[in-house]
Amino acid sequence: MSTALDPDHLYASSWRFLQWMHERLVTEARGDHQERLDTAPRNRFWLGRLAPETVVITSPLGPRAEKLDPCAIGIRVRPATDGPWQVQLHAGFRCWQKQTDGSFTKSAPIVVDVEATISPDGHLSDNGATAFEKQLLTLGLDARHAELRVDVETWRDHTELVFSLVNVSDAPDQRHPETHLYETTLSVAGLPCDEFQLEALPDSFRYDRSIPAIGINCGVDTTDGVFTTSDVISVDKNRPSYWNSPRPHPDLRFDTLAADPLPPVRALIDAAREWGDMHWSDEALQHRSTDWSPAMWDEAAVGRDDFRVEIDRLEQGYRALQDDPHLLAAFRIASAALKHSAAGKYDTWRPFQIGFLVAALPGIIDPADADHVDTVWFATGGGKTETYLGLLVTAIIYDRLTGKTDGITAWTRFPLRSLSLQQTQRFADALAGAELQRRAHHIGGEPISLGFFVGASSVPNKIDPEDDLAHHRDAAARYQVLLRCPFCQDPEPRMRFNRALWTLDHICSNEQCPWKDGPLPFRVVDQEIYRFLPTVIVGTLDKAASIAMQGAMRGFVGAPAAKCTRPGHGYCYAARSKTPAGCLVPGCTGPRGPLPMPAERYAPRYRLQDELHLLRDSLGAVDSHYESLFDHLQHALTGTRAKIVASSATLSGFRRQIDVLYRRKARVFPQPGPSVDESFWSEPTALPARRYVAVAPRGVTLEFVSDRALTTLQKCIRDLIADPAAICDPLGIPVAHADHLVGQYGVNLVYGNTVKDVEAARRSAETEFPFPVNAESLTGGTGFDQVRDVLERLDRPEPDFADRIHLIAASSMISHGVDIDRLNVMVMKGLPLTTAEFIQTSARVGRRWPGVVYVLHRITREREVATYAQFQKFILQGDRFVEPIPITRASRHVLALTAVGAAEARRLAIHEYRSPKSLTTVRAVRDYYAAAGITAATETVALTDALGMDGPLEELLRRDIAEWETGFFDNLNDTATQAQWPNQLSPSGPVMRSLRDVEAGIPVYGDD
């Protein structure tokens, strides 16, 4: 980090301290600094150890025994010449011996250096056994034995040599209870070798898939042709720079773009074009193409064309700014709004953010642009959220300037079951900035507002007169969502139920707050969202299923029926017995009034999909049907389609995924550059951001390793607090930095794939640590009030370290939208289930300061064994390891579930508004359909369109739709039917209450 950005050199101190913590963790796991123990070493140390070969061979665990507690470490190489081969081998270890008092003491190092010849048949001229034996006997370590081995493998297309250090000691017995070897190491030198090519990765002009050697039960470090085993595999990733051009960095500060954005945008585009001409030229590609295949050249040509298309899109956006004064004004206001949202933490856009905004501007003014789905693809932590918030604010202001005075501009969906409070707060902050700008520029319309649409598990769907909320003031507090006032940043907003207007409100009590109009423009109750149609809806994807159950969700795709004339009551929908005028306020009998703007203007402009890569398997299949349904309903009601924008952690198979989900073309921004880590929009710096450490525990459980690792990490902090000078001085760290280091590294994050893993880590904090540890859990089941409290304590930690949170045990809910600078140390209990999840989860640490991620591999699982073996490439080329997205819309099982939802949504959103009376009974629907000439045949056509089943491979599904409609109309016209409500007429079962209601779930646990 530059001196200007870090004048006190805190970043350098942080990196040194993190390296020291890491070294201490590894050495304590190996036992390097221990000379005496009161317990058996094999119950204490979990790295650098080897079990006796005879124990592994005779173990009832079979092949699993060698994985769980190996008897050998090895190095696999590809010699560059045919044999015989001359090599220098170095190996070493230490032993522990039980004393008469029951304690254990460690021996001196046993080290062997061998210059050996290897014959083509695998004979090793000196296996070191004699040298080992001599030293062991001198130290009185009988029953301990070791030897070096080499295997020559010729069955592949290239000869490979596997060098091993093997523990051939006797099995432990009463006289010799400890015959493991410890602090083991092996190195190979003097052997010219070729590199391996990872077969799991395809050839690509952007990537190098070669590795110099492969470790056996270990990692391998390679320096100057010497291969050395390592007990952990460490890979450092550096922070990117967001400007990669010899030209001066354009002035992209919020203030500058709020005043006159055209000159800096022009400079940005010119720099991008110049960079492309330089780095994508034939000469530049020829310089890089040492041994490219024709397919790699073709791939490079496509990459160059894609970059040129990106430049053309930037030019189109720039011309749109020049030609449309409303768009230019909205773009300027968006910069001012995001300045408010940044709250002084930063004052400028990053180039790729402005690039995306400019390229996306035609989507605001050109309906044809909805044919493409624009996907933001950038490194996690780079600012994707702020990028599409900038687009949303631009679209909102453009709507206001062009006559849309109210209603939804965008609906943002998150695929997880729980929505991050921090993510929601970012939306609220940006929209508050937009509202302040709307007022400052005297732009008409209703206040810009936000709706939190997640459902009854977190906030109420509705508030009934008999609910506690309606009678007890304190009951409202548990539904607080905002972490602070988005207008003034006051950290203590409060909740209040307004009985007169029947609203659950967030209230800011700060007298200096610029918001002076009562409750904050933020809605958390479903029925209030229907009543007020906030400008932006942010919620979980599951809630899309509500379109088939809630008639008032028509406001998400078109115009409500009317507006209640009672002040503060909001919009009206189809009449019901309890709401005779369609107003959703209980007991309201006020007359309906006209809509304040043309019905077609209620069409949402955008649907935003966060974390696109999570829409897979059954969830993706169901959502693909509902995406078509929303398009169908919006077009039927307004003649428009919403533009879809997405963000994703991966580009693996994204074109097909978008085609399946949305029936649209895929477009990504920014385009990758000609190398894996460099594009116009970013390049790596020398500044370390995050260290990834692969750990394969030996002879102990993952839970044991997690507890021991966390104990060491917490002990480091406590030692620093106890004697700052003793820790800082040897590291060259100013003692004055100690408080900063305690603050940034004093809380550890433990990630578990299952709630079982999370709760085990949480319980360990109470029983397994030698000192008090304050631990909290964050899972999908954690209540809002607890999540809010944890985030507050992490953001503003208690003055006394003893009172702070020391450990967070978290599930996948932590992997999206959580941005806490103090989360810099993570322990993963097993590899996350997908690579995309690993990328997202690990990016929670090291957001501002250097971070470390310890990945504890379940080494009995083949996927984790493979990942461990190629861990460096897994980290540096993570996007290439992302599994293809399994998704299809052509599922008959899914269609059986979604057909009823689509039919019900059409009844609630379309037919009921054409009917002279409510369609709430079977008889009313029967009479209306008969009068309107609606038949199974006509509804089959409509339902086929609603579910997007118009492809050439979907004939069978169209037949299923026709059969479903036939069954529905048979039930409808059966005068003896027992069905009471229209949704009971479905021949395939009830309406889905959530997009995840595909099949019943069962708990699945690991085999460890």
1008: its two tokens:
């460890």
For 558, residues 6+ apart whose C-beta sits below 8 A from its C-beta are 599, 602, 603, 633, 634, 636, 637, 638, 909
- Backbone φ and ψ for 435, nearest 5 degrees, come out as -65, -40
Cα–Cα distance for residue pair 739/751, rounded to 1 Å: 26
110: its two tokens:
């046993």
Inter-residue long-range contacts of 595-599, CB under 8 Å, 24+ positions, other chains counted: 595/559, 595/560, 595/562, 595/563, 596/405, 596/406, 596/563, 597/403, 597/404, 597/405, 597/406, 597/407, 599/558, 599/559, 599/637, 599/638
Measured in whole angstroms, how far is the alpha carbon of residue 891 from the centre of its chain? 27
Cα angle for residues 74, 79, 82 (degrees, 5° grid) = 130
The low-confidence residues of the chain, meaning pLDDT below 50, are 3, 1000-1008
Give pLDDT, residue 837. Answer: 86
398: its two tokens:
């453009």
Give pLDDT, residue 502. Answer: 94
7: its two tokens:
């004048």
For 962, residues 6+ apart whose C-beta sits below 8 A from its C-beta are 936, 940
Task: State whether the Cα torsion 712-717-718-719 is positive or negative.
Answer: positive
Cα–Cα distance for residue pair 945/632, rounded to 1 Å: 7
Q: Is the bond leading into 177 cis (omega within 30 degrees of zero)?
A: no
Whether the CB-CB separation of 785 and 813 falls below 8 Å is answered with no
User: Among candidates 592, 586, 542, which has minimal Cα distance to 566?
Assistant: 592
Q: What is the pLDDT of residues 520-541, one digit of tens each?
A: 999 999 999 999 999 999 998 9
User: Among candidates 411, 436, 414, which has minimal Cα distance to 423?
Assistant: 414
Coil vs helix vs strand at 759: helix
Cα–Cα distance for residue pair 78/222, rounded to 1 Å: 14
Measured in whole angstroms, how far is the alpha carbon of residue 782 from the centre of its chain? 19
730: its two tokens:
């040897």
Give the strand pairing for 606-609 and 643-648: parallel
Give pLDDT, residue 811. Answer: 86
User: Among candidates 747, 753, 876, which has minimal Cα distance to 815?
Assistant: 753
CB-based burial, 148-159: b 16+ in 10 Å, e otherwise: bbbebeeeeeeb
Whether the CB-CB separation of 216 and 164 falls below 8 Å is answered with yes
Task: State whether the Cα torsion 366-367-373-376 is positive or negative.
Answer: positive
Cα–Cα distances (Å) from 365 to 212, 298, 320, 434, in that order, read 53, 35, 9, 19
Q: What is the DSSP secondary structure assignment for residue 850, as one 8-state letter? A: -
Cα–Cα distances (Å) from 433 to 368, 404, 411, 437, 797, in that order, read 30, 19, 19, 6, 27
Give pLDDT, residue 7. Answer: 64
Q: What is the DSSP secondary structure assignment for residue 58, as one 8-state letter? A: T
Cα–Cα distances (Å) from 769 to 38, 174, 281, 764, 766, in that order, read 18, 31, 59, 7, 7
User: Among candidates 783, 754, 774, 749, which has minimal Cα distance to 421?
Assistant: 783
Give pLDDT, residue 1001. Answer: 40
User: Among candidates 883, 885, 881, 884, which has minimal Cα distance to 207?
Assistant: 881
Tell me the residue type at 764: S
Indicate whether this model's pTM tops 0.75. yes
For 12, residues 6+ apart whose C-beta sits below 8 A from its C-beta are 1, 6
Helix (H) or strand (E) holding 655: helix 654-662
Cα–Cα distance for residue pair 42/49, rounded to 1 Å: 8
CB-based burial, 965-978: b 16+ in 10 Å, e otherwise: bbbbbebbeeeeee
User: Among candidates 602, 601, 582, 600, which has minimal Cα distance to 591?
Assistant: 582
Give pLDDT, residue 258. Answer: 97
Cα angle for residues 588, 593, 595 (degrees, 5° grid) = 120
Alpha helices in 796-877 (DSSP H): 835-842, 862-869, 871-876
Give the strand pairing for 825-829 and 851-856: parallel
Alpha helices in 565-616 (DSSP H): none
Give pLDDT, residue 5. Answer: 57
CB-based burial, 757-784: b 16+ in 10 Å, e otherwise: bbebbbebbeebbeeebebbbbbeebeb
